[in-house]
Amino acid sequence: MTDAEDRKPQSDEARSAFRPPSGPSATGSSPGSSTTQTTQVIPVPKTAPAPAPVDNESSTTSEFALPEGLAAPKAGGGESETTSEFALPTGLEVPEPPAADTEGSAFTPPSTYTARQAPTAFTPPGGVPAVSLTKDVPWQDRMRTMLRMPVTERPALEHVQKTEEGGPAVPRVLDLTLRIGELLLAGGEGAEDVETAMFAVCRSYGLDRCEPNVTFTLLSISYQPSLVDDPVSATRVVRRRGTDYTRLAAVYRLVDDLSDPETHVSLEEAYRRLAEIRRNRHPYPGWALTCAAGLLAGAASMLVGGGPLVFA
């Protein structure tokens, strides 16, 4: 046995249990003994020859060794062989996202679209009817038409109730407008008619960029001189509501005089007339108003086919 074979450890699988151990001769006498010891050699059964080692490697195999006939899978270019459950299977490709179509989007305006070319919102199918704003038309119709227009499309003022160089103060005009609207709403007038009267009062004193707003019990108005100036707003609450056509007629006469370009009514004169209208009481007592309302309701029920039981 050579020195190289002595230095190389032998594997357990290469050693058979029936092979005699290497070393001294199996037949001999132990030192210090006069008795000769005879050892019988048991023949080793013949087994299949072990496969020849591959590439000068040891023939010893491990339980993790790849069986014969199977080839190790080739790893990707520089990537780890370990795959993730989220990895794309072999043979599939990631689909490319479609190119963004800016012209076909419902939320993207066309490239030739500009703000100046934008049509008016909520245009009826037959077009917007032309409204004549001549002076022969009653002020209620003119003011109601202008109130429904955008602020930038309203016609310019032709006559303004002014007594001094700069005109009346804006807060006083707004206060007068709210007080007139309060009497109209408390007397039983509708919200749209109240807004029309308030707009007419503001326009008669030069406040054309105003926006009145009337609800069931609240009146508010806002005025902005221009787009760069701060707006001025005021509100007023109506505590009690009833039906007083006498007061309504007096207030409408005041609004008629304010809207008439041939009649000059100063702000102090308008306040004085409004105070007189507020002080005047109802010309009829309360019981007469109650009976009149009951008779009106009964007559309406008879007109639609109701009998005496419904009238009562």
Tens of pLDDT along 83-132? 667 777 776 777 776 665 545 555 555 555 454 555 555 555 555 555 55
152 and 273 housed in the same domain: yes
Q: Taking a C-beta distance cutoff of 8 angstroms, is the pair 192, 144 a contact?
A: yes
For residues 182 and 269, state if they share a domain. yes
| Residues 272 and 289 placed together within one structural domain of the fold | no
Domain count, the chain: 2
pLDDT at res. 77: 53
Q: What is the dihedral of CA 120, 123, 126, 130, to 10 degrees?
A: -60
Residue 296, in any domain of the structure: yes
Strands 232-237 and 210-214: unpaired
- Tell me, yes or no, whether 30 lies in a domain: no
Instruction: Compute φ and ψ for 307, nearest 5 degrees.
Output: -95, -170
Handedness of CA 80, 83, 89, 90 (dihedral sign): positive
CB 197 within 8 A of CB 253: no
**In which element (H, E) is residue 182 found?**
helix 170-186
Asked if residue 225 and residue 180 are part of one domain, the reply reads: yes
| Rounded CA separation 26/62 (Å) | 33
Cβ atoms within 10 Å of 135's Cβ, excluding its own: 10
Query: Does 133 fall in a domain?
Result: no
Same domain, 183 and 254: yes
Residue 293 lies in a domain: yes
Query: Is 302 part of any domain?
Result: yes
In a domain, 181, yes or no: yes
Asked whether residue 159 falls in the same domain as residue 259, the answer is yes
pLDDT digits (tens, 9 = 90+) for 186-208: 998 999 999 999 999 998 998 88
Question: What share of the chain in percent tops pLDDT 70?
Answer: 55
The amino acid at residue 32 is G
Does residue 291 share a domain with residue 273?
no
Instruction: Specify the higher pLDDT residue, 305 or 122.
Output: 305
Residue 66, in any domain of the structure: no
Higher pLDDT, 143 or 123: 143
Q: What is the mean pLDDT of residues 2-11?
A: 59
Same domain, residue pair 166 and 196:
yes
Q: What range defines the domain where residue 158 resides?
A: 139-279
Q: pLDDT grade, residue 215 (50/70/90)?
A: very high
| Domain-embedded: residue 265 | yes
Q: In what order do the strands lie in the sheet with 218-223?
A: 210-214, 218-223, 232-237
Residues 143, 256: one domain? Answer: yes
- pLDDT of amino acid 163: 44
pTM of the complete model: 0.51
Q: Are residues 185 and 262 in the same domain?
A: yes
**Six-digit token string for 144:** 């109601």
State pLDDT tens for residues 156-177. Answer: 655 455 444 555 689 999 999 9
| Mean residue pLDDT across the chain | 73
- 218 lies in the same domain as 180: yes
Q: Which residue would you say has higher pLDDT here, 18 or 177?
A: 177
294 and 201 inside one domain = no
